[in-house]
Structure 1
Amino acid sequence: MLLDSCNLTGTTHYQILSVKEDANYDEIRAGYKAAILNSHPDKLHMNTKESQLDHELQERFLSVQKAWEVLSDPTSRANYDMELQSSRQKLEAVADEVTLEEMTIETIGDAQEFFYQCRCGDYFSVTPSELDEIGLPLNININGDVASQSATGLQPAAVLLPCGSCSLKIRLILHSVP
C-alpha cells in the first residue's frame, strides 16, 4: 500500500515536497529539488558520526526521495491520490454505507443521477460524470446493472457523498468489474 510509505505523523508526499495536491509535474520537480537540497547529507556537510540528528536527517532524505519516486510517475501518483482520498474518507464518520444498486436512478434524456434518501428527508446524489471526474468511471449494461471500472483492480472503491441539506454523509461503495 502506498500510504504506508508516509511517515507515522501522517505527513503526505505532497507535504514532504512542500507542494499542493493539485501541483503539476514542474511544481513537484521544483519542490523535490528544494527539499533534496535541504536534506542531502553531503550538501549539509554532516560528519559521519552516528547521532539522533544524523538519523533524522537520513530519514528526511529518504522520505524526500520516496515522495519524488511516487509523485513523479503519473500512474503511481494516481494510485497514491486514490489511496490518500480513501484514507481521508475512512477518517470521517458516515451515516451509512451503500452501493449503487441500493440507490434510485433517475434518467432525464441521456443524463443519469443516482439518489439515496437521507434521514432528514433530503437526498444524497451523484452523477456518472462526477464519478468519472474522480477516476471512477461506471459501466452500465443493457439490463441496467452498474459497476465501476476503477483502476484499483477487483477491490471496491468508495466515495463520500454529503446530504443536500444536513451534515450527514454516506460512503458509496463501487464494486469493480473484472
Structure 2
Amino acid sequence: MQLANNTIHRTHYNILNVKEDANQEEIRTRYKSALLTSHPDKLQQTTNSNHNDDPQSTFLEILTAWEILGDIKSRALYDVELRVQRQEGVIADEIEIEDLTVEASGDNAVVELLYQCRCGDYFSVDSLELGEMGFIVFMEGNKLSLRAQDSADMASIVLPCGSCSLKIRLMINQDTS
C-alpha cells in the first residue's frame, strides 16, 4: 500500500469523516452512512447533490477507505505510512532494490544495503532492521530481492542519510512472478 504524493492529501479518515483514533465500530458506522449518501443510485434519485466531485469517484473513494480502514492489519500499515509521510519532508530520490550496493558480513548473517548520497555519505539499512519492519531479504547468487511478510502489492521505506538531512524512498515491488 502506498499513499498518494498529492500536496493536498485527503486521508481515508477524512473521506469517512472520522478521527484517526476512532474505533472500528465508529469507522463502520461512518462508512455505512457515507455509502448511503454517496451511492450512485441514491444520487440519481436526488437532483440536489452536495458533492462537487464526480459522484462515482466519491463512491469509489469511500469503498477504498473502508477497504483499508475496515481491516485491522491494513489500517495499521496505512497508519504507519501516514505517519512516515507526515515526517519525511523532502525526498531526494526514489530508488529500487537494484540501485543499492550490497555488503555482506563474513558469515552472511547480516546484509547491509547502501546507496550513496550527494554529500558523500550513505543511506543504509541492514537485513535485521528490514526484518523488524516486516520485510525479508533474499540473496540468490548476486541477485538481491526484498519481500514484505504481508501481502501488500507495493511498499516503501524512507531512509535518512547518515550525515545530511536528505532522505530517499526505497520502493519495494511485491511482484510474485
**Bin of the TM-score, shorter chain as denominator length:** 0.5 to 0.7
Q: Relative contact order, CA 8 A, sep 6+: which one is greater?
A: 2
Greater mean alpha carbon deviation, residues 156-165 or residues 91-100: 91-100
State how far apart, in whole Å, the 1-side matches of 2:162 and 2:171 are: 19
> Are positions 1:169 and 2:162 aligned together?
no
Partner of 2:48: 51
When residues 16 and 36 of structure 1 are mapped into structure 2, their CA distance, relative to the original with a 3 A threshold, is: same
> Are positions 1:147 and 2:145 aligned together?
yes
Partner of 1:107: 105
Name the amino acid aligned to 2:48: S
> Are positions 1:29 and 2:28 aligned together?
no
User: Unaligned regions of 5+ residues in structure 1, if any?
Assistant: 42-47
User: Unaligned regions of 5+ residues in structure 2, if any?
Assistant: 38-44
Greater mean alpha carbon deviation, residues 160-169 or residues 29-38: 29-38
Tell me the CA shift for residue 174 of structure 1: 4.0
Provide the TM-score with structure 1 as the length reference: 0.56
Q: Which has the higher strand share?
A: 2
1:1-178 alignment runs, 5 A limit: 10-17=9-16, 18-20=18-20, 27-34=23-30, 36-37=32-33, 49-53=46-50, 55=51, 62=59, 63-64=61-62, 66-73=64-71, 77=74, 81=78, 92-95=90-93, 97=95, 99-100=97-98, 102-107=100-105, 110-141=109-140, 143-150=141-148, 151=151, 158-174=156-172, 176=175, 178=177
State how far apart, in whole Å, the 2-side matches of 1:162 and 1:104 are: 17
| RMSD, aligned CA | 4.5
Provide the TM-score with structure 2 as the length reference: 0.57
State how far apart, in whole Å, the 2-side matches of 1:96 and 1:13 are: 24
State how far apart, in whole Å, the 2-side matches of 1:49 and 1:72 are: 29
Aligned length: 154
